[in-house]
Amino acid sequence: MSGLTSEQKQQYDELGYVHLRGLFDAGELQPLINELDTEIDRIARAYHADGLTESLYADEGFETRFMRIVEDAEQAYREMVDSKFLGPEVFRLLSHPAFLDIVEGIVGHEVHCQGRHRLRPKLPNFGIADFRWHEDTDFAAKRVTYVQQQYGLDREAAKAGGRFLSRIVAAPKMPEPNFWVPLVPVDEQNGCLHVLPGGHLHTPPYEEQWEPNTYVSELEDLVPLVVPMEVGDALLMHQHVPHVSPPNRTNAVRWSIDIRFQDGRRPVKSVREPGFLARSVERPEDVVTDYEGYKAIRDAVAEFRATSGIRF
């Protein structure tokens, strides 16, 4: 097991992020890109057969074909975003030993991959794909707005301008390391991540956590960091480190995927989007080792939701 170096672990604890350069060989992600290409082709053919698009756009590449489809039929965007799509290569990435080694060094030997993996096709000038400053934690708890600061982003962008930064102060304290993985080179033009180093350390006092006007002044002195990345890199983030992706101002899709983990001994964060036990010393027989096993879990939950009448 390799995992983080002592210096990287210290940076993760103190700053809330680590840029893992060259975690993969660039070619190692090509089978995943091919799998996404195949799914995009399926979507193109289905939408064209229904008369929703002008063309199959078969001559377009990975970075542009999905964009052309969505330009004709905006609803196609939902076909690929978040955790809706799961294939063997997606599962292979979710359970990659490089991730599991790092996570084990943070949460311990019981590693659960959350079902909330997020595929991010960030389209050019497409507001739905833009987010303001946020943290990757459970959005079920009440949010407290505590910063009204621009951080150098576009003041006119209502969703991506970073005008309000919210912390979900009631969220659990257990570690939930996240990985953000670009599938194309990313920079400021196409929407690479900006992070607020050290922002995960500042939380309102307990007695003020449910006060809507709570303000954490310590964040004002923190300086955002722009993180351009190459294919093969990964960005490890603490779940409470604030981050944002500004609008994509290029003519191609910025593809990325983010993956979230937690201690396998703690309650899972989502039943509707079931995850899987990825590594275990205590329950090795329950570790899910292949795509078919994970798909069976997701299919069973989906069927139960559809037939039970229970909403969750």
Which two three-digit tokens encode residue 138?
A: 């459970």
What does the pLDDT average to over 280-302? 95
Q: Which domain holds residue 181?
A: 6-308
What mean pLDDT is predicted for residues 17-40? 96
Residue 137 predicted with pLDDT over 70: no
Binned at pLDDT 50, 70 and 90, residue 143 comes out as: very low
Does a structural domain hold residue 59? yes
One-letter amino acid at 221 equals D
Given a cut of 80, is residue 168 above it in pLDDT? no
d(CA 279, CA 283): 9
Q: d(Cα 188, Cα 196) in Å, to the nearest integer?
A: 15
- pLDDT at site 155: 40
Q: For position 302, what pLDDT does the model report?
A: 86
- CA distance to 41, 235, 274, 304, 305, per residue, from 33 (Å): 12, 19, 24, 31, 31
Share of the chain above pLDDT 70, in %: 79
Cα separation, 43 vs 99, in Å, equals 30
Confidence band, pLDDT 50/70/90 cuts, at residue 110: very high
pLDDT band at 102 (very low <50, low <70, confident <90, very high): very high
- Model-level pTM? 0.87
pLDDT at 212: 52
Residue 208: the pLDDT is 54
Give residue 93's identity as a one-letter amino acid code: L
Q: What is the distance between the alpha carbons of residues 162 and 183, in angstroms, rounded to a whole number?
A: 25
> Average pLDDT of the chain?
84
Residue 227 is part of a domain; what is its CATH number?
A: 2.60.120.620
Question: Would you say residue 189 lies in a domain?
Answer: yes
Q: What is the pLDDT of residue 132?
A: 65
Give how many domains the chain has, as a whole number: 1
165: left (phi over 0), alpha (psi -120 to 50) or beta: beta
Calpha distance 273→256 (Å, rounded): 19
Residue 253 within a domain: yes
pLDDT tens, residue by residue, 228-283 = 999 999 999 998 888 888 889 999 999 999 999 999 998 776 778 899 999 999 99
Banded pLDDT at 145 (limits 50, 70, 90): very low
Residue whose C-alpha is closest to residue 209's, from 169, 247, 174, 242: 169
With a CB cutoff of 8 Å and minimum separation 6, the contacts of 5 are: none
10 Å Cβ neighbour count for 74?
Answer: 13
The Cα 247–Cα 153 span in angstroms is 10
What per-residue confidence (pLDDT) applies to 177?
95
> How high is the pLDDT of residue 307?
86
pLDDT band of 162, cuts 50, 70, 90? very low
pLDDT tens digits for range 50-83: 999 999 999 999 999 999 999 999 999 999 987 8
Q: What is the mean pLDDT of residues 154-167?
A: 42
Give residue 99's pLDDT: 98
pLDDT score of 151: 42
Q: For 196-242, what is each residue's pLDDT tens digit? A: 899 888 765 545 555 555 556 667 778 889 999 999 999 999 988 88
Write down the pLDDT at residue 273: 86
Within-domain flag for 1: no
Helix (H), strand (E), coil (C) string for the chain: CCCCCHHHHHHHHHHCEEEECCCCCHHHHHHHHHHHHHHHHHHHHHHHHCCCCCCCCCCCCCCCHHHHHHHHCHHHHHHCCECCCCCHHHHHHHCCHHHHHHHHHHHCCCEEECCCCEEEEECCCCHHHCCCCECCCCCCCCCEEEEECCCCCCCCCCCCCCCEEEECCCCCCCCCCEEEEECCCECCCCCCEEECCCHHHCCCCHHHCCCCCCCCHHHHHCCCEEECECECEEEEECCCCCEECCCCCCCCCEEEEEEEEEECCCCCCCCCCCCEEEECCCCHHHCCCCHHHHHHHHHHHHHHHHHHCCCC
Of the listed ranges 49-58, 103-112, 166-175, 260-269, the least confidently predicted one is 166-175
Confidence at residue 241, expressed as pLDDT on a 0 to 100 scale? 85
